[in-house]
A and B are shown apart, each in its own frame.
Chain A
């Protein structure tokens, strides 16, 4: 895992390369081969989003220019074709995020069932004041997000890949403390993830 510098590009500016000199590891290379096999030979551009997911996992859940360049080189595309996709989709972070990216849904169903209390609990626990901020110690990023599609289990939040549902302020605090202490993220997750299929690496976990 390369060390990522935290000096970050400002949104709206063309971000600069950080000179990280990235390359794929063997595991990642295998994941890419499996991914590319899904699409017709002459349509490898389809793999832009899947490869960006792999790149984002490689770089601590955000995409420095170098990672986007690596994806572009892998698919033999101009850099802009990758950058325009990365900047279009909200799941791609063009700025560094904390170790735990806390995304609280505040859309209609969650709002009705009390997402305000969850937001203020997250803010007071992490010391963050606004959506999009990252704590100084790099532990938490808090983002208010749009509907995550778990409306019958509202209010809810997503941290990393897991959904945490039926939240109360107490439960929220418990989860955040648990994660801060290095606990297993799956413990409170709403859907028990299966160990046999990793949708990003297209294989078993850890493969």
Chain B
């Protein structure tokens, strides 16, 4: 039996389809900013505790529990006389809107159709983390989208939701939009901080983690757009409102971007743990040519290994179920490939993407990702030997896990997934070339 469709009041992003007014008037009509004052008067630790209980996990790809991440940030303590000791360094909340993972386009729709959800999330987030300033790092290509966001921020200032002493609560929050300039790697949190500091976007070694030493050396939390925007509705509603969806440890609703060979590609907010097949057939108009015409699915953006048709028919869309299939939910960007698609060509193109985007800091990635791309280019054409397929696999294993950030891992997984599910295609092409010669 299919899951019930979410009603507007069940959603964190009721205007994701862009049908309504995205300006402050429309947002307030949908119930936005209502109860904000109360949230800014509740003790911060209560918010963090509720977030922990809600089971919200980061929507940017890694799925780290948000409540726990927020609890790493320093909170002011009381001295023996019960007086508040102010924090010595300023704290920052940085929103990662550098969306660049192929297949992923959910943040773009939040920015242009429901930007106030993010603004309100940033206000609550900055308050909870004792940050007076929040930065929203938007990828440079999202120019029109960031103009919507900037207008939303301007409207929030004009209505007194931003600035000094918000609604008389004594809370000060300033928000700034910072445009990037086209580098996928800046979606990695420490590379994003480097970029925000005006440097090349090259990831930092961890530890120290950003919660201790982040932007300008100060405590910093970096979260995805969707994660931050989901915080206010979670805190405003009873816990049950969020946790009733999805399996334990994977609760809530999530935006799924469904693209590729489907009849109606779309961004849709749906309950977590929804079966993949139901998601595609209910919301995206089904696979082109019917479910039997399905060849493969990338379940969570280009970095996640693909699923074959058989697994796609039974898998649930959440962090744990996809991990059990040795892939991942990632950003929940589903790229569907029907039988007319040349899978090897698509995967070679993805390998080329990582080749182009490697920041060049670590040798295994800088040299290896290009090597993998060249091998994929050749082998996908059938030029090579069967032994080279094993060599390619061994190579990916030698790059994975040997670099500063997770970029190289994410670059290798799709190739590994291709070799796992579509090795026979490589072999057919190689044999065809050999017998023709």
Using CB atoms and an 8 Å cutoff, list the residues of chain A in contact with chain B.
38, 40, 43, 45-50, 52-53, 75, 81, 84-85, 88-92, 106-109, 111-113, 146-154, 158, 161-163, 189-194, 196-200, 202
Contact = CB atoms under 8 A, between A and B. Distances in A.
B137 to A, nearest CB: 10
Contacts of B139: 149
Contacts of B41: none
A160 to B, nearest CB: 8
Q: Specify the main secondary structure of chain B where it touches its partner.
A: mixed
Interface centre among A190, A191, A199 (most CB of B within 10 A): A199
Interface centre among A53, A194, A198, A202 (most CB of B within 10 A): A194
A204 B140 CA distance: 18
Given A89-B182, A91-B141, A45 B353 contact: no
Given A107-B349, A152-B265, A194-B151, 12 more contacts: A40-B216, A48-B198, A75-B198, A89-B181, A107-B102, A108-B302, A146-B353, A150-B105, A152-B267, A161-B144, A190-B144, A199-B177
B274 interface: no
A57 to B, nearest CB: 11
B261 interface: yes
Nearest to B150: A197
A138 to B, nearest CB: 22
Contacts of B346: 108, 111-112
B141 A46 contact: no
Contacts of A162: 143-144
B141 A152 contact: no
A149 B182 CA distance: 11
Contact of B335 (A109, A149, A153, A199): A109
Nearest to B153: A197
Nearest to B218: A40
Contacts of A106: 349
Contacts of A147: 100-104, 302, 353
A40 to B, nearest CB: 7
7 contacts: A40-B216, A43-B197, A88-B183, A90-B183, A149-B104, A192-B144, A200-B143
Nearest to A148: B141
B356 A146 contact: yes
B141 A189 contact: no
Contacts of B58: none
B259 A154 contact: yes
A111 B108 CA distance: 20
B205 to A, nearest CB: 19
Interface of B: 99-105, 107-108, 112, 135, 138-148, 150-151, 154, 176-184, 195-201, 216, 257-261, 265-267, 298, 302, 333, 335-337, 341, 345-346, 349-350, 353, 356-357, 359
B183 A109 contact: no
A108 B147 contact: no
Contacts of B140: 49, 53, 89, 91
Given A49-B195, A53-B179, A112-B261, A191 B298 contact: no
B260 A112 contact: yes
Minimum-distance CB pairs A-B, first 5 = A89-B181, A197-B150, A91-B182, A48-B198, A45-B198
A90 B144 contact: no
Contact of A112 (B143, B145, B341): B341
Contact of B180 (A45, A47, A49, A111): A49
Nearest to B181: A89
A46 B333 CA distance: 31
B143 A152 contact: no
B353 A107 contact: yes
B179 A191 contact: no
A85 B182 CA distance: 11
Contacts of A107: 102, 302, 349-350, 353
Contacts of B266: 152
B181 A90 contact: yes
A196 B115 CA distance: 15
